[in-house]
Chain A
Amino acid sequence: MSRHWRQQLDWLHGWAGLLAGWALYFVFITGTLGYLDSEIDRWMQPELPPPQQTPVITQLRLADAYLQQHAAGMAQWRIFTAIDRNQPWLKVQWRDGRQGRYQTRLLSQESGEALHGRLTAGGRALYRLHYRFHYIPAPVARWLISFLTAVLVLVLLSGIVIHRHLLRDWFTFRAGKGLRTGLDLHLLAGVAVLPFLLMISYSGLLFYLPTQFPGFAATEPVTGAQSLQRILAPSAPASEADRTGVPMDLTLVEIVQAAGHEIAPQQIRRVDLYRQQGVIRQLVIHPRTQLFQRQEKALRVQVESTGPEYPSYTGHGPVRAVYESVLGLHEGNFAPAGLRAGYLLSGVSGGLAIMTGLLIWETKRLRRLSGTLGYRLVSGLNLGVIAGLPWAIAVYFIGNRVLPADLPQRAAAELNLLFVSWLLFIVLALLRPGRPGWLLFTALAGGSYLILPCLSLLCTDRNLYLSYQLQDWWFWGFELAAIGIGCALLSTSCYLYRRGRTA
């Protein structure tokens, strides 16, 4: 490999890494939190009972009874059964017609009554931030995240090429050597999870394939047959116009039970119901996701005047199964607790690699550029983004506890709080970059995480001990994790203080 080419790639790695680094850090941290979205949701709605498992048929009966009472005759229903951590509560949605927003309720699996938790954006909103961002239109967000992911792939590939002795250097860690230590840490964090980083970036790009290659994606190779957009689009019912006759009047549970020879009721993750003239016309049954898959093929039951028609269920073909598994690997919804922990650690390690990369860029140019406007900007943004984002997320959690329960648009207010506090932090960091800023802001972020369990104690009827007694492990785990993160940030602040005194 020519030295000249390697130098060019070094330039590319450094500059592309810096310019996309702040946004990629945001994507990595919020995306990693997405692997704990259900657990965060649990903590942010303390009024809800701990998740429990009941037979799917019982859940469908309860949901059917509730919907008959509150959404009778509506054109569309959706029922999400509580079968695993991705769907911890029984959820129903309905809307009249094909347009408009769905009304959503969580239901008790004992009484079938609606559960009333506080309105919150929850862990799901944090997860959505990593690809949808906030305050910007969806098409812009799609292009932006696609571009950032492509840059991430370039940075990863160029990083592999420029580090000639990748594996040898990976096993070398020199502590207390300033810039050298930073480089070793960057390599350690990056190389340890390199397969994960390559997988996550490649599969991340595939999510927006139709956006990035619109010409190819709209191709219809067999006359009028399929385009990629249609293949990947969520399932939609057949047109009502081409159907005649009044369908047989059956209940949802009757149809699902009769479909048991194709999909066992205990495997049902979601049921979509479409009505015509007040009776059920079509039922779409989504089975539970299997290992590595993102979503399984749904079974479509058409209800005619003679009764329901059950097509024989076959899963995805081999190519679609490969495609779905690549996307499934990205989302990790199939992952049991151990593997989920692996995802979490890999995400944190990726964030650490980006963070050390940004700091290396700053440290390398300390002597040459110190005092210039550009250097101050990079230095301030590094502080504002690296230390500011964890703090802003802590403020988001604090907002969940302190905002009034009857506040209009409460969920949006929580997210506004996150971004306003982060912006404020960045402005302060730009005004006060350098070691004093790091010391102050890491202590502030650490303190914010440590008060989260105290706020639960003061503002709700839950606390760490009660969660332990109730064996509500998600709630308990969240608060323990908050204490752990708070202590780690405070330790960092103390370390910086001690180093400042000895230097």
Chain B
Amino acid sequence: MLCWSGTIRFRFMVWRLSPSGRLCITLFIAGAFAYLVTSQLLLWLTRGLVAFASAESALLIAGLLSYPSLFLMFFLAFLASYSRRAQRLCGLISVIALAGWWL
């Protein structure tokens, strides 16, 4: 109940903002989403790569892939501000990342 009322209050607050204010909040959320998800995916990727390559190679491959992943996630989250399909994809990725955290 608390969660729902919090969400409604947040939506109400965001809707009252100007279009540029709403866009700023979207950018902030997209940035935070991209950063957290990418950090988690990098951990997974590194652990997976260690099975096939040396630790140095695994870390460097993950490092090279980190920024493309970060910007991909950012634009996906940015797109999710009005696309239902992108919203679902973001949700799915979040669940996978959260599961990784919990595991």
Interface residues of A (CB under 8 A from B): 2, 4-5, 8, 11-12, 15, 150, 153-154, 157, 202, 205-206, 209, 213, 215-217, 219-222, 225-228, 231, 317, 319-320, 322-323, 326
Contacts and interface: CB of A to CB of B under 8 A. Distances in A.
A215 B64 contact: no
Given A319-B53, A319-B61, 6 more contacts: A4-B82, A11-B20, A209-B63, A220-B55, A228-B59, A317-B56
Contacts of A4: 82
A62 to B, nearest CB: 37
A226 B67 contact: no
A8 B78 contact: yes
Nearest to B38: A213
Contacts of A154: 71, 74
5 pairs of A and B residues whose beta carbons are closest in the complex = A319-B57, A221-B50, A216-B42, A222-B55, A323-B60
Nearest to B45: A216
B64 A213 contact: no
Contact of A219 (B59, B78, B79): B59
B50 A222 contact: yes
A326 B61 CA distance: 12
B27 A213 contact: no
A219 B46 contact: yes
B63 A228 contact: yes
A153 B71 contact: yes
12 contacts: A8-B23, A150-B70, A154-B71, A154-B74, A213-B38, A216-B46, A221-B55, A222-B55, A226-B59, A317-B54, A317-B56, A323-B64
Contacts of B42: 213, 216
Nearest to A9: B78
A219 B46 CA distance: 9
A224 to B, nearest CB: 10
B66 interface: yes
B18 to A, nearest CB: 12
B11 to A, nearest CB: 19
Contacts of B62: 216
B67 A202 contact: yes
B71 A323 contact: no
A102 B56 CA distance: 31
A145 to B, nearest CB: 14
A320 B60 contact: yes
B15 interface: no
A231 B58 CA distance: 12
A5 B54 CA distance: 42
Size range of the interface on B?
20 to 34
B72 to A, nearest CB: 10
Nearest to B54: A317
A231 B60 contact: yes
A216 B78 contact: no
Contacts of B81: 8
B17 interface: no
A501 to B, nearest CB: 39
Contacts of A326: 64
Given A4-B82, A5-B79, A221-B47, A319 B56 contact: yes
Given A5-B82, A221-B47, A221-B58, A206 B23 contact: no
A202 B58 CA distance: 19
Contacts of A2: 82
A231 B75 contact: no
A335 B59 CA distance: 28
B60 to A, nearest CB: 5
B60 A319 contact: yes
B39 A157 contact: no
A317 B95 CA distance: 36
B64 to A, nearest CB: 6
A53 B65 CA distance: 41
A14 to B, nearest CB: 11
Contacts of B60: 228, 231, 319-320, 322-323
A82 B48 CA distance: 44
Interface centre among B20, B59, B63 (most CB of A within 10 A): B59
Contact of A157 (B27, B71, B79): B71
B77 to A, nearest CB: 12
Contacts of A11: 20, 23
A82 B73 CA distance: 46
Contacts of B47: 219, 221
Contacts of B8: none
Nearest to A201: B67
A4 B79 CA distance: 10
Contact of A216 (B39, B53, B82): B39
A205 B67 contact: yes
